[in-house]
Amino acid sequence: MKKSLLLLLAVWIGIGCGACAFSSAPAAEERTESTEPKEPMQQEEEPKQSREDISKQAEESAPSAPQDLPIEEKTPENVQQAEPAEDLAEPAGEAAVDYDLTAFSNPMVFSAIYDMILQPENYRGKTIQMQGQFFFYEDPQTGTPHYACMVTDAAACCVQGFEFAPAEDTADPRDDFEAEETMILCGVFDTYEKNGINFCWITNATWTNPLP
């Protein structure tokens, strides 16, 4: 009886072990397949274009330049001459001013006049315009009037300026200005000699009144 039971138990164990072995075999195969390294997917490589192919494509795509176009040669016959402008301002009747001192303050005008007196050769023949005070003096022996336009320095303690000779066909400046009245004088800078001394003055002078 014991032998028959042992034999039955052995057969049952053998059948169980066989079943386990059979059921575990596919799993092992699956594990084996999963552990094997998979080959990376190969991407389709795009065909590489060489520089020559790219340049050829660019030349083919670029618009072709027109050929056999007539080229007009510039000759004296077909060149249009530039015409002078008609709207240019005509030169003023009065001479242009070379040194306009009316835009400067009295101290600067004082310095400019001082330089003209020291270096008259640099200004001789130049048109000067200045603003100052009108002065006149009449020679008691000859009765000849003398006119001058004077400016003061910064401290208003020193005065200097130029004697001037009115232009022809002009009125007497005493008819237009009182003594020490402000005037704008315009004329040509020059020098003259008297008793061996050189004096600076303004010739061909004209004047205006800056005050309304």
What is the tens place of the pLDDT at every residue in 14-46? 545 444 444 444 444 444 444 454 554 555 555
pLDDT tens sequence across 158-176: 899 999 999 998 889 999 9
Q: Taking a C-beta distance cutoff of 8 angstroms, is the pair 170, 122 a contact?
A: no
CA-based torsion, 152, 153, 157, 160: positive or negative: negative
As a dihedral over the C-alpha atoms of residue 53, residue 54, residue 55, residue 57, rounded to 10 degrees, the angle is: 90
Ranges of residues in the chain with a pLDDT under 50 are 1-3, 11, 15, 17-35, 37, 40, 65-66, 68-71, 74-94
Domains and CATH numbers, the chain: 99-208 (2.40.50.140)
Q: With the C-alpha atoms ordered 150, 174, 166, 198, is the resulting torsion angle positive or negative?
A: negative
CA contacts within 13 A on the Cβ side of 188 = 10
pTM above threshold 0.85:
no
Spatial CB neighbours of 190, under 8 Å, sequence gap ≥ 6 = 124, 125, 200, 201, 202, 203
